[in-house]
């Protein structure tokens, strides 16, 4: 691959709000854009339908809203191709490749590559077993050189790397970003678990969610507030300002995650002070998203869970 001559892609199931988990993959696409990539964002409406996330009509409305959220986060719309999966996944060549890959993939392998919820089900349906195979073929059809995804996408990406060359397609390079813990401390932030901070949440909502979040003292592993500081605030702002009263040590500034973790593990930073500081920083980080969406207020009607 040469600079300016490669395709980077990430697929998103348009089934809910855009949150910090999506933010990390979007930021990686932005990095690749700066390196010269042409980026494709796949708004996987058929995948969402197979995963029982609603009617195609409703899913496509959410997809349009998700697209605007991604642009608001900083993805260059002029250098990004936004595609619905249904725009090519009904083509005969795509279907043939799905069937060919199905003959090369065991049911056990497909099940291990399913989304977490489907994988835990006692009796998942056939559509959910096809999901990871279709996802691999997406990469071939889109001519992907670099596939971006969360760590939970590794099994699907391995199927793509192993099986696509068997079908005569190139092997994609796969780049993975961390999965952030939900505000409740569970292993993954997810709109289906209602343990997320949406990128378009109002400041008061962001602060409320952060202040209620799981944040055990002296613990950094599995601590969502530490993760949000490390993976969202510090990369976006370059610093985290801790504001506290003089009698508790006074205010100070952190510029790297290791320093934050060291201080927190030593008990030199109270969870309440960390939460308040992170909450205020997140409000600032997401201010451009709110500003963009206010200018495109019509997209609000497409947002999931709009009252």
Q: Which domains does the chain have, with CATH numbers?
A: 7-177 (3.40.50.620), 202-285 (1.10.240.10)
pLDDT tens digits for range 208-232: 999 999 999 999 999 999 999 999 9
Cβ contacts of 168-173, under 8 Å, gap ≥ 24: 169/97, 169/139, 169/140, 170/140, 170/145, 172/139, 172/144, 172/145, 172/146, 172/147, 173/145, 173/146, 173/147
Model confidence at 55, pLDDT cuts 50, 70, 90, reads very high
pLDDT tens digits for range 100-124: 999 988 888 888 887 644 445 567 7
Model confidence at 7, pLDDT cuts 50, 70, 90, reads very high
Q: What's the whole-number mean pLDDT along residues 292-298?
A: 79
Tell me, what's the pLDDT at 68? 94
303, pLDDT greater than 80: no
Tell me, what's the pLDDT at 82? 97
Tell me, what's the pLDDT at 299? 58
């Amino acid at each position: 691959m040469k600079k300016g001559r490669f395709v980077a892609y990430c697929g998103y199931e348009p089934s809910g709000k855009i949150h910090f988990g999506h933010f990390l993959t979007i930021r990686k696409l932005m990095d690749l854009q700066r390196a010269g990539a042409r980026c494709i964002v796949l708004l996987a409406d058929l995948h969402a339908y197979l995963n029982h996330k609603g009617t195609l009509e409703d899913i496509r409305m959410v997809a349009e809203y998700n697209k605007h959220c991604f642009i608001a986060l900083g993805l260059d719309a002029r250098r990004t191709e936004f595609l619905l999966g249904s725009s090519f996944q009904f083509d005969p060549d795509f279907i043939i490749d799905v069937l060919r890959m199905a003959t090369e993939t065991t049911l056990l392998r497909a099940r291990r590559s399913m989304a977490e919820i489907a994988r835990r089900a006692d009796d998942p349906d056939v559509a959910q077993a096809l999901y990871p195979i279709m996802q691999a073929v997406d990469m071939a059809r889109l001519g992907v050189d670099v596939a971006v995804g969360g760590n939970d996408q590794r099994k699907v990406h391995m199927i793509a790397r192993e099986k696509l060359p068997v079908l005569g397609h190139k092997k994609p390079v796969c780049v993975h970003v961390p999965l952030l813990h939900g505000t409740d401390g569970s292993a993954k932030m997810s709109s289906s678990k209602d343990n997320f901070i949406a990128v378009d949440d109002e400041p008061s909502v962001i602060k409320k969610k952060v202040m209620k979040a799981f944040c055990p003292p002296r613990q950094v592993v599995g601590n969502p507030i530490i993760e949000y500081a490390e993976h969202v605030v510090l990369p976006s702002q370059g610093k985290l300002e801790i504001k506290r009263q003089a009698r508790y040590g006074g205010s100070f500034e952190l510029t790297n995650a290791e320093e934050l973790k060291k201080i927190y593990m030593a008990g030199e930073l109270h969870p309440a002070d960390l939460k308040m500081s992170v909450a205020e920083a997140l409000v600032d980080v997401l201010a451009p998203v709110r500003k963009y969406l206010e200018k495109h207020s019509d997209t609000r009607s497409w947002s999931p869970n709009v009252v």
